[in-house]
Structure 1
Amino acid sequence: MEDIDFASLLCSRLCHDLLSPVGALNNGLELLADETDPQMRERCMDLLADSAKATANKLKFFRLAFGSAGGYGAEIDTGEARAALQGLFGEEKRIELGWMVAEPKLPKEAVKLLLNLGMIAGDALVRGGRLDVGAEQGAGGMELVIRAEGPRLILDPNIRAMLADGGALSTVEPRTAAAYMANRLATEGGGSIQISGGNDEHLVVGVLLPA
């Protein structure tokens, strides 16, 4: 039952995040059906194009971050991961992404962990800012680091707690599902997630996965 329950929570999270762009698509189609003015129809088409792109970007991200990433094998091209995270936040021009991952490929689990942590840290930048994502592989293992900086940073205490200790599945909610998944990926990889203390402008999240 645990896997079914967690899958349901992830589905709830996905539906919540996709509701806005899909709703905008529906609104655009309704406006287009009733509009006769050429300029307004052009604006409706722009709205539809933007909403379709946002939906596609979110689905691409969710496939890599939450799904099995079928077709990628045991390792994933880090360029794909960068494009997925850029697509999630980049279109709004609200968050500047700094990508500091030199490896051309990383293990699938490490990429999923990196994306989930990146999404959580990016969501905490409620007024925008900069999100730096780094990964370095050495003899001792792989180190993942996420740094978020902005004028207003809010990390939900429940998400922070879920990242730090995982908690029980019975305590997971749709909004903390990604944090639960990140904790599971880290612990199953032999590591643990470290989070910087409370600060309304900076957040650093790190994971060391042993070799």
Structure 2
Amino acid sequence: MTKDMTRDIAAMIGSRICHDLISPVGAISNGVELLGMSSQDTGPELSLIADSVDNANARVKFFRIAFGMASPGQMTGRQEMVSILNALSTKRLTYVWQPEADMLRTEVKLACLMMMCVETALPRGGVINIQNEEGQWSICARADRLEPSPDLWARLGAPATSDGLKPSEVQFILAPLQAELLERRIAIQTDDGSLRLTA
């Protein structure tokens, strides 16, 4: 089996899982909304459930872009990304999507995978700023505490095997594969309080 076949199968599995989860999560969200409309006293419990459902819905949509299929010419809207990242943002970790235009899905897929890599270096949270200028992605994280793992970051320069990786670190295989597909290479820059991935 070739590398391209393996990548396509992985993307198909990602798309299938996310597709099957979108509907039930959406149904729960609708149910919570109806409960809120029919009850005078929603209480903190219902608010907690609603927040959790909104986060789960956004995360499934994010994973669908990051791990799913990206057909040639398929676009992802700016408003869709802003909506997803706003829903994922918390007091601890905030995402800022800067691109003003809709983008090719293959491009946004790379950005999402790079974001997931950056997240692993923010144990106490921070701000992740996503920019695209003249076709180049820049994912910049700022935080009081940054802990990039040298072993993981070393994988971003070129596609590598999964040896030694945990399932939660699969983005460190997929990001360089997606960059290679787009004829890019991921570069890393670190400074006091900031970390930047470009591709």
Q: Does 1:107 align with 2:99?
A: no
Residue 163 of structure 1: aligned partner = 156
Q: Does 1:75 align with 2:75?
A: yes
Would you say the 8 A contact 1:64–1:112 is kept in 2? yes
Residue 139 of structure 2: aligned partner = 146
Give the one of 182, 188, 211 matched to 2:181: 188
Residue 56 of structure 2: aligned partner = 55
Q: What do residues 128-149 of structure 1 show as CA deviations (whole Å, max 9, x unaligned)?
A: 2221110023xxxx11101101
Would you say the 8 A contact 1:64–1:81 is kept in 2? no
Q: What do residues 94-124 of structure 1 show as CA deviations (whole Å, max 9, x unaligned)?
A: 223333213x221211100111112222342
Residue 196 of structure 2: aligned partner = 204
Change (3 A) 1:69 1:80: farther
Deviation at 1:163, TM superposition (A): 1.4
> 1:13-28, aligned counterparts within 5 Å?
none
Deviation at 1:84, TM superposition (A): 2.2
Q: Does 1:116 align with 2:118?
A: no
SS at match of 1:48: helix
> Which structure 2 segments of 5+ residues have no match?
29-40
Cα distance in 1 for residues equivalent to 2:102 and 2:154: 30
Cα distance in 2 for residues equivalent to 1:170 and 1:120: 17
Change (3 A) 1:52 1:98: closer
> Which structure 1 segments of 5+ residues have no match?
26-38
**How does the TM-score come out when normalised to structure 2?**
0.72
Deviation at 1:73, TM superposition (A): 5.4
Cα distance in 2 for residues equivalent to 1:94 and 1:111: 24
Cα distance in 1 for residues equivalent to 2:70 and 2:96: 23
**How does the TM-score come out when normalised to structure 1?**
0.69
Q: What do residues 51-77 of structure 1 show as CA deviations (whole Å, max 9, x unaligned)?
A: 21221111111111111267x952211
Q: What do residues 146-194 of structure 1 show as CA deviations (whole Å, max 9, x unaligned)?
A: 1101001112333212212221244543122112111011111111000
